[in-house]
Amino acid sequence: MTRESESGLPIEPVYGPDTAAGRDQAAQLGEPGAFPFTRGVYPTMYTGRPWTMRQYAGFGTAVESNARYKELIAHGTTGLSVAFDLPTQMGHDSDAPIAHGEVGKVGVAVDSVDDMRVLFDGIPLDRVSTSMTINAPAALLLLMYQLVAEEQGVPAAKLTGTVQNDVLKEYIARGTYIFPPKPSLRLVADIFRYCRTGMPKWNTISISGYHMAEAGASPVQEIAFTLADGIEYVRTAVAAGMDVDDFAPRLSFFFVARTTLLEEVAKFRAARRIWARVMRDEFGARDPKSWMLRFHTQTAGVQLTAQQPEVNLVRVAVQGLAAVLGGTQSLHTNSFDEAIALPTDKSARLALRTQQVLAYETDVTATVDPFAGSYVVEAMTDDVEAAALALMRRVEDMGGAVAAIERGFQKEEIERNAYRIARETDAGERVVVGVNRFALDTEEPYEPLRVDPAIEAQQAERLARLRADRDGRAVERALTALKEAAAGTDNVLPPMKEALRARATVGEVCGALREVWGSYVPTDAY
């Protein structure tokens, strides 16, 4: 469908050069929705409908987060993205001593299926796509979600969404790991196998470069190390006896969008091209859906500033535009006040409105891959691809992503780049508006959203009631069955689901697995 510009001139859905040289270039690029997907994974991209607009939200109790989700849906959010607090991410209950002071702070506290039920109360899970940022205990939260859906009468086959489930980047950049790499990879493969037949529309992993970027990775490092992790996951699943085309179409990725718009667009295009060739040529995938690199994008939290926070509105708009021009499948735009505290209702709504302006007021959705054929973007795409492939080869020479992690390679490379950025910023060579240039003598006061510290006590009371009300013997039997599966070769998700159904807590389930698999203790490898 052809749209018109503000001047009444036609905007074609797809453009391609007509000269002989141009036809050669077009042949190299390929068509949108076709191998190697440089120009996007779908033929029509946003000309048919815009990307999924997600807002990453979750704080305090399940009751509070549920209210925020309902408000976001009412304002036009088309997908939910759940943030969990640190104790949940690390597999601890809210009343565990190690959880003290962190309950509900950076996300919602979910200790059992009871909390998950409250979190999605009144939200029809057959009509909402849900992404969950959870990694080491990803299987637990996925199964709780499925249990709540069953209570709603929604079959698992209708559930759509993503569980992050990317443990390798935890060892590289984030640190919320629980188990050592080998059993962690086994758990990832078990999720792949479980969802293949039980939850066929669910994206079983979101292989994340975002957190590497937040730790200081360059765009090249971000996609190189992320795709190297992706290769490791594919190898793990194949080694577990799965056919690549049985699980690869449900793989997804998660990248950052920075303010350096041109390089970000080139990065997304290069990543698609690399992954398509890896999957087709190295793994022999036959299904074109297995070649597609589908990804979610979040604007760059690390580039938000506490100084003059309203300027972040501009940064987020530019970053969101970079993600859209780069062909993202879904997008979260950060709130302008996130460098200070949790977003308020108003700032979260403004972040969503930013996406809606991009989708409905600009003309970037009128045509597929607007930058195709741009001299600078095509050259930058080639340059980013070559540099990323060179870095991926270094990882392969070490024996793959896990072997490189054990040597501390990715972490050291990212830290070196982060140090370079910090030095350039401190020296004023890298401009940060409002921080090292155009600063104010005094900042205007801003009242942030604060989490009630009483939440920790409330969650502890809920846990005490749960343990008193449930069938303790049934929980013990279920946890014993889970440990037996973990010690053997059976898929651990079915017994894990029964333990959660019996109202075992996150801490109890992860504790049972720790007994069998142990806990990961990082070593100073360099």
Q: What is the pLDDT of residues 84-117, one digit of tens each?
A: 999 999 999 999 999 999 999 889 999 999 999 9
User: Rounded to whole angstroms, how far apart are CA atoms 182 and 190?
Assistant: 13
Which is more confident, 53 or 2?
A: 53
| 3 state SS for 397-424 | HCCCHHHHHHCCHHHHHHHHHHHHHHHH
Selection from 204, 203, 208 nearest residue 191 by Cα = 204
Q: Average pLDDT, stretch 79-87?
A: 91
Does the pLDDT of residue 524 top 70, yes or no? no
Average pLDDT of the chain, as a whole number: 92
pTM score: 0.90
pLDDT of residue 7: 57
End-to-end CA distance of the chain: give it in Å, rounded.
56
Does the pLDDT of residue 24 top 80, yes or no? no
Dihedral sign of CA atoms 14, 17, 18, 24 in order: negative
What does the block give as tokens for 436? 């090292």
User: Using an 8 Å Cβ cutoff, are 269 and 374 in contact?
Assistant: no
Identify the bridge partners of residue 205 per DSSP, sorted by sequence position.
251
pLDDT of residue 20: 42
Does the pLDDT of residue 17 top 70, yes or no? no
pLDDT of residue 18: 56
Which is more confident, 22 or 185?
A: 185
User: Using an 8 Å Cβ cutoff, are 210 and 271 in contact?
Assistant: no
pLDDT of residue 27: 57
Does the pLDDT of residue 491 top 70, yes or no? yes
Does the pLDDT of residue 22 top 50, yes or no? no
Per-residue model confidence as pLDDT tens digits over 104-113: 988 999 999 9
pLDDT of residue 5: 63
Does the pLDDT of residue 514 top 70, yes or no? yes
User: Rounded to whole angstroms, how far apart are CA atoms 479 and 510?
Assistant: 10
Reported confidence tier of residue 152, pLDDT bands at 50, 70, 90: very high
Q: Average pLDDT, stretch 473-501?
A: 98
Does the pLDDT of residue 470 top 90, yes or no? yes
pLDDT of residue 21: 38
Does the pLDDT of residue 338 top 60, yes or no? yes
What does the block give as tokens for 246? 């049985």
